[in-house]
């Protein structure tokens, strides 16, 4: 519920004429025979979001509760020359078989590559859906890996930029090294240092300063066309706490949207 409240708090400060609300099914959802908790809800949200994105040609900023909403958003934006920059404390590279929690939010980036997703057929847009090449992923600010994720990153040679002393130039050059000519930017707010934002479900120390994140987004957009973006994981404890964080969040939104 904190994630839902956080998404609605951000919604309250977005321009109404440019914003569409995609409803999330009420209820626990069903695993549909997979190892993914509430998988039926994941599938329903992806289908609804996909319909909205297909109706609009311009790049979209998708604001959600957790990273799971971005499956359809990234897949919609992917082209043959797209890199995905994943600003997140967690790499979200589990498969249904390696995840202990069963939460799709921890699988979404790997699911986009099509690796280890034999259980997730109901999520697919169709047989022609584009896959994300591991070589076009840049993990920026990730600092808590499970063993299975660490192994996958090393075996696929995924590019990473540590949160410690991260600079905009490092991230831009990492994207350039993928050979991509355009970029999708994902921002999980837990990439930020917990000392700079209170409304985090899973705060992880040694994160980015908001000014560094914003400068890096700006540098990426100056070098590459932005084909889509996502912002998620705002989890304030109450309305007063949400208001305290909103200035920082709106600066990030502004960097992504303008």
Q: What is the pLDDT of residue 27?
A: 79
H-helix or E-strand spanning residue 84: strand 82-87
Can you give the pTM of this predicted structure? 0.96
**Structural domains of the chain, count:** 1
Q: What is the pLDDT of residue 189?
A: 98
Cα separation, 116 vs 134, in Å, equals 13
Q: What is the pLDDT of residue 117?
A: 86
Question: With bands split at pLDDT 50, 70 and 90, how would you rate the model's confidence at 124?
Answer: confident
DSSP 68-122: GGHHHHHHHH--TTEEEEEE-SS-----TTT-SS--GGGTHHHHHHTTT-TT-GG
Give 3-state DSSP helix, strand, coil % of the chain, rounded to 5: 45, 15, 45
Place of tokens 């309250």: 12
Average pLDDT of the chain is 95
Name the residue range of residue 203's domain. Answer: 2-257
Q: What is the pLDDT of residue 173?
A: 98
Per-residue pLDDT tens digits for 217-226: 999 999 999 9
The enclosing domain of 184 has a CATH number of 3.40.800.10
């Amino acid at each position: 519920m904190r994630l839902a409240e956080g998404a609605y708090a951000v919604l309250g400060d977005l321009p109404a004429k440019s914003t569409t609300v995609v409803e999330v099914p009420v209820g626990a959802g069903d695993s549909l025979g997979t190892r993914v908790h509430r998988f039926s809800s994941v599938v329903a949200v992806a289908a609804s979001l996909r319909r909205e994105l297909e109706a609009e040609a311009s790049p979209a900023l998708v604001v959600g509760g957790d990273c799971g909403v971005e499956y359809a958003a990234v897949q919609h934006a992917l082209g043959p020359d797209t890199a995905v920059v994943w600003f997140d404390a967690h790499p979200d590279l589990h498969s249904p078989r390696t995840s202990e929690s069963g939460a799709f939010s921890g699988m979404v980036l790997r699911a986009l590559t099509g690796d280890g997703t034999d259980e997730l057929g109901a999520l697919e847009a169709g047989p022609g859906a584009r896959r994300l090449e591991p070589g076009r992923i840049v993990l920026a600010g990730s600092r808590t890996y499970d063993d299975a994720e660490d192994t996958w990153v090393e075996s696929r040679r995924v590019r990473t930029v540590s949160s410690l002393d991260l600079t905009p130039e490092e991230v831009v050059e990492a994207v350039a090294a993928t050979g991509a000519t355009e970029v999708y930017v994902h921002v999980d707010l837990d990439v930020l240092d917990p000392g700079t934002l209170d409304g985090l479900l899973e705060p992880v120390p040694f994160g980015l300063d908001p000014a560094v994140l914003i400068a890096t987004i700006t540098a990426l957009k100056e070098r590459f066309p932005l084909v889509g973006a996502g912002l998620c994981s705002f989890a304030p404890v109450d309305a007063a706490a949400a208001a305290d964080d909103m200035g920082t969040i709106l600066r990030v939104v502004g960097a992504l949207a303008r």
